[in-house]
Structure 1
Amino acid sequence: MNDIKVSIIVPVYKVPEIYLRKCIESCINQILKNIEIILVDDGSPDNCGKICDEYALKDKRIKVIHKNNEGVSKARNVGIVNAKGKYIGFVDADDWIEKDFYEKMILFGEQNKVDVVVSGFVKEKNNKIIECLIKGENKIFNKIEALKVLLERKLYVWSPCDKIYRTSILKRKKIFFPEKISMGEDLDFIWNLFNKIDKVGYISLNKYHYCYRKNSAVTNKNPNKNFSSILVMKKILDESKNIDNDLYKRMQELYIKELASCCRNMLIYNKDKNSYELEVKGLQKELRKNIYALLRNKDFKLKIKLAIIFFLFPYNICRNFKFLLK
């Protein structure tokens, strides 16, 4: 009988050694001992793969999978396929978790008979806490409630890492990360999952530590990645229209903001004056379709509305006055 409580999946690619070791050791030192740690070396060109192998020799609970570089989504999916635990958890290789994180998460999940448990997190920069997301009390949400709170991004966010998932649900319902997009994959994964379960458990806990690094994939400004998140949000916007009107309105807010953010990044980080011209014009056209929703929205502050309205001007005006965006 399988007695592994949780499979901890860690995608590894070009992570500074000090972060990677801290991450792996925080997984090894979990109070919950009947775990497996799946380190997916995504073709990292440095010493990351060797470091993973080093730890595997010390702890039989560690399984290392070496593969060609295909991106974090593929790496996580490989982890899901190979997971043997009752639950699955994801940890990014430059983050770390407190020793009782999975013990508390799984206990809450078992007591409340939920397939997904979500929590808050701690955000760190230079070993100093810069944000601590923990609000409210423990609660069980139905599907619609869970999706609304997800899009609010106040109680919990759409990162896959500060959560646990019943493995049987992911495999039976075939919930995997989309492998052909470079940004927005986390939202796509969580949205699809929440849409296929009846309830989600929230535990008021902040024991996952997200470490902010200047040169990490999350902090790098890449307009092309921004554009892929637009496609994810548009898909979700269309789906939410048939689920719940309030949910649709909230998704429309996020979609409008993401359109404007993508325009901004493409204008600021372009290589020459004609870079991304067609893409920006396409985003502007989409913004104009949603202008009435923007003007009617009482939750948008005037400053935000004015910033978004800037992108409704012709492309040449936006390009020539892009210095205002900085």
Structure 2
Amino acid sequence: MAVLILISPKRTFVLPLLLLTAASFLTVPKTATALSTKYYDKTCPSLQSVVRSAMARAVATDPRAGASVLRLFFHDCFVNGCDASVLLDDTSTTSTTGGEKSAGPNANSLRGYEIIDAVKAAVEASCPATVSCADALALAARDAVALLGGPSWTVRLGRADARPGAGQAAANANLPGPGSSLASMVAAFAAKGLSPRDVTALSGAHTVGRARCATFRARVNGGDGNVNATFAAQLARSCPGGGGADGALAAMDAETPDAFDNGYFRALVQRRGLLHSDQELFNGGSQDALVRKYAANGALFFSDFAKAMVRMGNLAPAAGTPLEVRINCRKPN
């Protein structure tokens, strides 16, 4: 009887071919340590242009799309590596404990899932059952930044998709929150092998996008001392301390909310950071000098941001994580 050998990071399975579905034949990409710029050169040579075109359509339709996809990538990679687990909907096995989408930093906050659905659909139409959702998200995040006027970088490919995801508890434990201190952010990044400089550079992603009132209410209603008084008063009018406006949005960088530039750092120097965690980068601590450099030198920020995105994009799932190439990014095959 013919068999197919499937290899996971820890075990080898021998399965009868007659019992395999079509999804079982999907090639599982290499581990993150073996990511390659040529991974899809033969199997999907049009991949980069397909993703870029899909993202260009999304950004043209909704200026917030780029920031949303960029944030999805960060929230994915910081929870058990870049494995597209944040894209998974809850299933019968996660409905009780909760999946990553229902974690505190993600619920009612992350958006853009339908954008990645569209990107993946375009990729599937061009190269069926070939490209992982994790790779599609990595490329989409890079293109989102470039389309908004930011830097570009070479994305190494060959990631795989987790089945199932890490879950709500892991996301709550790993993702820094809007009230995080500088020390806690540095520690969280260090646990991923990322430096304090990476903390500051990657935080620059907040130069685009919006945040909900619930995430900055305390800061603008007397909770922080390191905030520009005029800035706080303006925001408090639409985000009062008494509550009731949790969903009201404010731009992370009020100066140029939909342009990827160094305006975020200029705002920090003026103590106009929207979130407590933002202003922690410029609050008499170790990152003050770097924030000033980025505020004065956009090219330096762009260079450091691109390098940090590559390092973050190399974060791999833990050994033993079941992996596959998903057809639908919202559910296992």
TM-score if structure 2 supplies the norm length? 0.28
Task: Please state which structure has a larger fraction of its residues in strand.
Answer: 1
- The higher-RCO structure (CA 8 Å, 6+ apart) is 2
